[in-house]
Chain A
Amino acid sequence: MSSTPETFLIPKIKYSAILNVISKGFHVDRRAIMEYRQINITYNVAPNADSSVLLRLGNTQILAGIKLEIGQPFPDSPDEGILIVNAEYIPAASPVYEPGPPDENAIELARIIDRSLRESKAIALDKLSIVSGKKVWSLWLDIYVLDYDGNLIDASMLASMAALATTYIPYYEVDQTTGIVKVDRSRKSMPLPINRYVVTVTISKIGDYMVVDPIGEEEAVASGSITFSISEDNCIVGIQKRGMGVFSIDEIEKVMEIALNKGKEIIELLKKLTMNIK
């Protein structure tokens, strides 16, 4: 069952203080409301993974890792690799997160990222066949939220994209007679083929104002948000409205414009940050 969440209690004067700052065009931390916090990426934080990144968006920290395994293709797509996305909010990330299987928020997060990558064909899964109809690469993307300070979806998508863009497929050999695949993870064969970059831009509604990249405190007073997934070729490749707030048609159009502009900007930035990473 999905239940109304118990929200953090925000003192009323704090709410009006936040609203007041935003009405002047600024975040609580004095950024412009349409500006993202600084994005910082550390690569290869878990050398045993085929790719791993620690992404910081302000104080929000996301750990994303990729494991490549040899798997069986689905019968309806015998020559395509498989993508599996999971997300978990670890209890260390916030006093309100509890241990246990992923809750609805973590599942929603994973599914938003999964759909955005899949629908946009961001990864060239059709180039991940090993033995036609029998063996393909399974791409496990696991996302862990390490520290919460707002905007988990955008941060997780950035972390995922950064991890994917810096993944190398290990060296492997197929024994032609037995069909057994030998993998040597100490050597690389080729970079994971990426068709296009995808990012998400989440716009939160606080009072009647639209902001991007809220910190946790601001997110707690937002009535709702809309996440637009934007691809490198300027298409909308996913949408998810979240929370109890509502949006008028005009607001939705405005949100879309913001998402397209910001999406472009962040993709360029992400490309710069992932360039020359081996």
Chain B
Amino acid sequence: MYESSEIKERKLVIPGDSITLDQNTTVEGLTYLYKLNESTYMATVTALIDVETMENKRRLRVIPLKGRYIPKEGDVVIGTVVDVSLSSWTIDINSPYSAVLYAYDYIGKNFNPTVENIRKYLDVGDVLLAKIAQFERSRGVVLTVQDKGLGKITSGSLVEIEPCKIARVIGKKRSMLNMLMEQTRCEIFVGNNGRILLRCPSLELEYITILAIKKIESEAHTIGLTEKIKDFIIEEKVKRGLIRYEIK
């Protein structure tokens, strides 16, 4: 089993539903709750709440079912260049907040804006993999490409899903993502902003991967999803004659 088996309870909450917390309960995703008084919180979005119990400790995980991508420092995102200025690029990252990538970050310190046109490095329409270096809601987003594997993307295809479902595509301890890559033999780069880059050995496999990702998106709130998706991929591969049916 890829899924955690400690999940005792899963419930759907709607804005205005109240949740009682005691001292033995920890919460992941407190930003989606509103504190009414000492022990009562209210859900602010439509979300699933997973309740895990270990000994006398309770752990709640609030997973919103919909919503725009809100940048977080350290997140990896896939962006598109929408504007170029003298010394920076404006990048659309599928969020209410657009991002900026400074030329010195991409090109290096010795870049001189008076002699060089940065368009020859990145131009409008180019796609890149980057990391959120800074984010402050009232100021905006600053990106960096200073990390392994980041930078301009020149090949592969893009899939877009609801950003809040990205966590399910990755899965607990990357379980879902590892299974997907293993089963489809595609390279998969997941942007936290809902964009996924695929590099697949064949068009058939790419198609199956896209179907699988869309299925994760639409069934994100169900239990035992990794197994279900694995079966789905195997079935699709059999249907397309890529493998013969295996007995599990």
Consider the complex of A and B and state whether they touch directly, i.e. have CB atoms less than 8 Å apart. Answer: no
